Structure 1
Amino acid sequence: MNPSLHGIIPPMVTPLRENGDLDTHAHKRLITYLLRGGVHGIFLLGTTGEGPSLDHGLRKQIVSEACTVINKRVPTLVCITDTSFKETLALAQHAKEAGADYVVLASPYYFPISQEEFQEYLVALAPRLPLPFLIYNMPSCTKIHLAIETVKKAKALGAIGIKDSSGNRAYLLSLLQEFRDDPSFSIITGNEALLPEMMQKGGCGAVAGGANFFPKLFVALYDACIANDRDAVARHLERVNWISNTIYNVGKQESKYVKGTKCTLSVMGICNDYAAPPIGQFNSTERNQIIRYLEEFSYKDEYTIK
């Protein structure tokens, strides 16, 4: 296992003000909350962080301020995915200068591209990246599902791991099988429910969206997996699945996962729930549903961070 890349790495939301600026106080408060929750790393500007919806100046501000607060206490990962090759490199360079540890790269979005075209893109980009990089499989947002051969090509070009957010169990298991003899290549799931199974087969951890609001729950699940405590795994996994069936399923829009995550943090008093266009906020009915779910969960008991 790559010792620097393991465990629970929240894809941190980006606290915004109503005018779209970074809420710097809430940003620091959220980072502090996550660190106190025992997370093993923090992932900036991913899907949950609304990275593609933010202007380049704001992205750089987020990275700079986050790295200052984190201060190397855990690894900082920065998503540099962009439609522009030049801007991708610029954000990667800024991440290095700010003190980040890794960059994370999905394929450029908007234009559908082939596996061969993405491999050629990596050939051009990888040697110019100033930090170690992971690739990011996010087919629902990028129009391409990274083939195993493409992942192998990325590894040959220097990738130290992959974050798989396809939600495809068979694909994740095929990754674990393909790279089973190379523990230095970190395989991290974006699907929270698959964490126990993938850990049993050599996976390294999860970029878990729910760890934004319940970091202690996800860290407890990870620790139980490491200890092979089946009873604890089952108990914590039941709570994780409950989140998927409740908080992530409020509302009818495709954006409900991001909205639900931000709304939950807002109800908990950690940051507000303003989102970058085109994503908006929950209406009052949806927000009240989140409130009821949190009361049902009794989050102030077992998973309170003191």
Structure 2
Amino acid sequence: MSMFSRSVAVVGFLLGLTSCCGSAVFAADWPHRTVRLIAPVPAGTAPDFSARLFAERLSRRWGQAVIVENRPGADGVLGVSAFLGADDDHMLLYAISAVVTVHPITNTKLPYDPVRELIPIAPTSDVVLAIAAPAKSPISSLGGLVQAALAQPGKLNWASSPGLPPFVVGGFFKTAKLDLALVSYREISPALQDLGEGRIDIYVGSLGVIMPQVHAGRARLLAIAGEARAPLAPDVPTVIEAGFPELRMDGVVGFFGKRGMPDAVRDRIAADVGAIANEPEIREKLAAVGQAARSGSAAEFAALLNEYHRRLTGLAKAIDYQASQ
């Protein structure tokens, strides 16, 4: 090797070393100021609760304020767009998995590419989803729902939270040839009120927001839409136990960054989030509102999202789903 080549090699090595060390130092020193956490959901929802819970704990760890900003609208698209459009390395996205697992399937013209532009950082919890009917309704099980819908085509209606439920439950109704009208709401509170009053026949959403209606004697849980029964409602069967595994929904929530985020910063955030998710007090608080704490690395979170996306893509093909333009 010539003297010139050796010199070039040494300079390249030093530059790489400087870059590596600089990234590590930046990660260790991050954040330098207030961190804004964009939550593309309305206040009072299950993801909003966990966002604020983790924001408070991260503020303690980082010694900087972590502020949750709710940016609801268009099934989360407005919030994600605002996050990706901002030039701020102290802004993170806190969102349900649907932003990368469902939206690319249901909308062919998103203003961004969530798979390429969003970087999974760490999961925080699984939002337990449930299916409910008004307490005064004769429908008391998923089997009863199917029978009632077959006996009264076009007479029943339903509503849900955004994300997975409209896609998965809507797909089930289509496959089973059940004619139920979907009622859209801009906010969850009116939908829950209508459920309690019997104006909505079926509501699908997070267990935590449904439970107040159940405790008030205004709603009845038909099934838990996950793999395991929920501690908050241990007597309610899962959709799998009820014989309708196609209604299983995985509502994982977590932190995302933008493409180009330094790996060292991503991993630093993931480690802190994972430590918080493993705190017994955090697990208890999440369980009390119908969520299950989940910890994991960035790679594990990305693999989980890929798995969910593949399963939902298969569902879309099975029901011949036509994405909106």
Q: TM-score, normalised by structure 2?
A: 0.26
User: Which has the greater radius of gyration?
Assistant: 2
- Higher RCO, 1 vs 2 (CA within 8 Å, ≥6 residues apart): 2
Q: Which has the higher strand share?
A: 2
TM-score (norm 1): 0.27
